[in-house]
Amino acid sequence: MVKQKSLRTLVAAATAALLLPASANAETVKIGVVMTFSGGAANFGKQIGQGMELFMQEHPEAFGGHTVELIKRDAKHPGGDVAKAAVRELITREKVDMLAGFVFSPNAIASAELVTQGKVPMVVMNAGTAWITKLSPYIARVSFTMWQSGHPMGTYAKETLGCETAAVGYTDYPPGKDSLNAFQTGFEAAGGKVVDAIPMGGPREVPDFTPFFQRVKDAAPDCLYVFVPSGNHAGAVTKTFADLGMRDAGIQLIGPGDITQDTELQGMGDDAVGLVTMHHYSADYDTPQNQAFVSAWKAAYGADSTPDFMAVAGWDGMAAIAHVVKTLDGEIDADAAMEALAGWTFESPRGPIMIDPETRDIVHDEHVHEVVKDGDRLKIKVIDSIAQVKDPCKALKIGKCGE
Amino acid sequence: MADATRARERATAHVVTAHRWRWVEAAPWLVATGAFFLLPDYMTLGTQIVITVMFALSLDLILGFAGIITLGHAAYFGVGAYACGMLSAHLGWTEPVSALFAATLVAAFVGWLSGLVLMRYHGLTLLMLTLSVAILLQQLANTYSDFTGGFDGLTGIYFDPVFGVFEYDLWSHTHYWYALAWLAVVFVVARRIVYSPFGRSLVGIRENALRMHAVGAPVFRRQVAVYTVSAGIAGLSGALFAQANTFVTLDVLGFTRSGIIMIILILGGTGRLYGAFVGAIVYMVLEDELSKLTPEFWEFGVGLALVLVVLFARNGILGLLDRARSLLAERGR
């Protein structure tokens, strides 16, 4: 038999309430959690789930004396259908008060019309396609959008790194295309020029990057902006980049911080040193909030494990849910919940965050990361920061973000 | 001598009566109706099962009866789903029944076109080529993501109530009956095909294609014909899927879908039509219940069940039932 814990994670957020007569009637709030828990992407759901549970364990007082019950459902693949069926079932059969999770964008997109129809607030904890929050008034996002890192990176590459020309290599699926668009928009608005954009295969198989990078080397731009899935893709990118001697040829490798995800960083090898990325979180941040978060994480899940930006989204998302539960005193009403979330601010491990009252999307600081060697482990060093970045896709009204 | 005559008479009687409806054949429809009244909250799963049964049925026509092996049947499911979805999302064609017909025709056409090439091959070559057709279509849909929505999915699909009367509800009740009605139609058609002379000739091709050539049967044409019909039915199930989900992603063309439908059919039993019903119900209920019990480890349970079936029930669950029945009959004698 599998651990009892994973059947239905009942966490007594009301430990405090048992001791103190805080609330006369402690409610149980049911949260449907729809994420990918199985298959190749299981680690994403695991990180977010652990982040959520860690918050419940560390801050039981945040729920105002009420109890939160998580009902987990596996969204399996990024096809939308399984997630949608799960959401439908959670709304009609389990009668959940709120929904949370959503690793892959298509799963959040497919479920959007149901949360409108069923009037259930939904807290998106990963799915980064920019226009998701436009699909329903009951969607709020605590994670990020692809534009939030790509667009400022474009500006930064031109203005600070001094790149006049850039080539872009991306994995040919929406996060890659979004990131490419975001970077190109930011870079060209600042006066730079994208000389080549190369689709580098799908997200599953790791391609041989040599032909793509050779083409870039021949074009000799100042910067090469790369978006690939973290892990083995990103490791192959830095290795190929080093093997072809592209740094010596005067090309700077840059990208969004997704490619230096904390959980995958150590596996990238020494070739990653010098890689510059733009992102909102790394476990190496030395703020008090983050240090407390990371040490709580290591105490709960082992000294070898490390949280990453997905875990932080789970933590922050749970904080947002706690805020709603406390504000509404356990009686969840969709419209009141969205009102409570609008303009909500929180001191997250990633820094100060806010839910933008207009777009219901996350606003957070973006940091310029550089991969450095610290002893025998790789480490993220923050070399620059941009405060309170709103999603540029919606601000600039690009494509579906402007509809 | 008398024994041989009796055996021949039994064989003749079988040919004469095999196509007749038997009482037991009412069972799936009674189960479907009973499920609705007993488990009204489970109709989202019910709708998915009905659609999967139809898809498995389409595979049974070619795999079970004509012996055509394929690892890319999701190609036609996906074409149907995209055709139906894009009619609504891009052309504003929101009448559901006619959209289903249109999607079925498109899928059948793609099936015919690819069948003209595919049916010239068999064995591993055919397996690889069917796989490639699905991959090609998936890459095509990914490349033209402005039309198909690509990985993020095709949104903006909307359909009018069925016949202008039956609205779609959050509980999927309308979708369930709608899909079930289509399944009934498809099943009657499939059953007619299987017991027709055409269907018998397919079985002949499955058992011995060379001999069918020798007796002058147009093997290639028969195979293309059944492949086209099967693609059409797969497309119809895909179109129903698009209408029930009002959302289509690249996943509908995926290898996983082709693989799972084959597993479902083998689980139920091939070449007997009802295998599609049994396989889909068992597989999907098992998956649904296990993944609720443990979202992290349900695949282990499903995998174990499949290994057991392959080890102990070579002809699927229905094959196992047959064996049990003949054992009982022997003991009774």
- Which of B3-12, B92-101, B303-312 has the weakest average pLDDT? B3-12
Which residues contact residue B174 at a Cβ distance below 8 angstroms, ignoring those fewer than 6 apart? B161, B162, B166, B167, B168
- CB distance A26 to A79 below 8 Å: no
Dihedral sign, CA of A267, A269, A273, A275? negative
Write down the mean pLDDT value for chain B: 90
From the number of C-beta atoms within 10 Å of its C-beta (0-12, 13-18, 19+), residue B26 rates as exposed
In this predicted structure, the answer to whether residue A12 has a pLDDT above a threshold of 70 is no
Distance CA A306, CA A326 (A): 30
Q: Are strands A165-170 and A223-227 parallel, antiparallel or unpaired?
A: parallel
Distance CA A111, CA A90 (A): 11
Is the CB of B155 inside 8 Å of chain A's CB atoms?
yes
Mutate to test the interface with B, among A9, A43, A92, A111 (most CBs of B within 10 A): A92
Predicted confidence (pLDDT) per residue in A304-353, tens digit:
899 999 999 999 999 999 999 999 999 999 999 999 999 999 999 999 99
Distance CA B236, CA B242 (A): 10
Q: Six-digit token pair at A177?
A: 């295309």
Distance CA B163, CA B96 (A): 8
Q: Specify the pLDDT at position A15.
A: 42
Q: What's the pLDDT band for B313 if we cut at 50, 70, 90? A: confident
Q: What's the pLDDT band for A11 if we cut at 50, 70, 90? A: very low
Q: What is the pTM of this model?
A: 0.83
- The full set of domains in chain A, from first to last, is 4-144+285-360 (3.40.50.2300), 147-279+365-401 (3.40.50.2300)
Contact A38 B291 (CB under 8 A): yes
Rounded average pLDDT over B233-256: 93
Q: Specify the pLDDT at position B181.
A: 95
Q: Which residues of A touch B298 (CB under 8 A)?
A: 38, 74
What count of other Cβ atoms lies within 10 Å of the Cβ of residue A166? 28
User: Does residue B87 sit in helix, strand or coil?
Assistant: helix
Q: What's the pLDDT band for B1 if we cut at 50, 70, 90? A: low
Q: Six-digit token pair at B225?
A: 């014909």
Q: What's the pLDDT band for A24 if we cut at 50, 70, 90? A: low
In this predicted structure, the answer to whether residue B298 has a pLDDT above a threshold of 70 is yes
Contact B296 A37 (CB under 8 A): yes
In this predicted structure, the answer to whether residue A392 has a pLDDT above a threshold of 80 is yes
Q: Specify the pLDDT at position A1.
A: 41
Option in B170, B252, B295 nearest A37 (CB): B295
Nearest to A309 by CA among A161, A97, A146: A146
Option in A88, A135, A177 nearest B170 (CB): A88
Rounded average pLDDT over B262-272: 92
- CB distance A254 to A153 below 8 Å: yes
The 3-class SS string of B154-208 reads: ECCCCCCCECCCECCCCCCHHHHHHHHHHHHHHHHHHHHHHHCHHHHHHHHHHHC
Contact B44 A92 (CB under 8 A): yes
Nearest CA in chain A to B249: A79
User: Where is B147: in which H helix or E strand?
Assistant: helix B145-148
Predicted confidence (pLDDT) per residue in B16-68, tens digit:
777 888 888 888 999 999 999 998 888 889 999 999 999 999 999 999 999 99
Option in A73, A77, A91 nearest B170 (CB): A91
In this predicted structure, the answer to whether residue A56 has a pLDDT above a threshold of 80 is yes
Q: Six-digit token pair at A145?
A: 């959008």
Q: What's the pLDDT band for A268 if we cut at 50, 70, 90? A: confident
Is the CB of B246 inside 8 Å of chain A's CB atoms?
yes
Task: Please provide the distance, in angstroms rounded to a whole number, between the alpha carbons at the two ends of chain B.
Answer: 23
Rounded average pLDDT over B309-326: 86
Q: Which residues of A touch B297 (CB under 8 A)?
A: 2, 38
Q: How far B330 CA lies from chain A's nearest CA (Å)?
A: 40
- Which of A7-16, B227-236, B256-265, B281-290 has the weakest average pLDDT? A7-16
Mutate to test the interface with B, among A50, A81, A129 (most CBs of B within 10 A): A81
Type of residue at A13: A
Contact A88 B245 (CB under 8 A): no
DSSP letter at B315 equals T
| Range list of H helices, A305-353 | 309-327, 334-341
Number of alpha carbons in the 13 Å side-chain half-sphere of residue A11:
23
Predicted confidence (pLDDT) per residue in B135-176, tens digit:
999 999 988 888 888 888 888 888 888 887 777 777 788 999
Is the CB of B45 inside 8 Å of chain A's CB atoms?
yes
Distance CA A254, CA A238 (A): 10
Q: Specify the pLDDT at position B74.
A: 96
Task: Give me the CATH topology for the region B26-281.
Answer: ABC transporter involved in vitamin B12 uptake, BtuC (1.10.3470)
Option in B142, B247, B296 nearest A38 (CB): B296
Option in B245, B254, B297 nearest A80 (CB): B245
Which ipTM value was assigned to this complex? 0.79
In this predicted structure, the answer to whether residue A9 has a pLDDT above a threshold of 50 is no
Predicted confidence (pLDDT) per residue in B124-137, tens digit:
999 999 999 999 99
Q: How far is CA A365 from CA A124, A146, A181, B48, in A?
A: 19, 14, 21, 43
Is the CB of B292 inside 8 Å of chain A's CB atoms?
yes
Is the CB of A128 inside 8 Å of chain B's CB atoms?
no
Residues 169-198 (A) with a CB less than 8 A from some CB of B: 172-174, 177
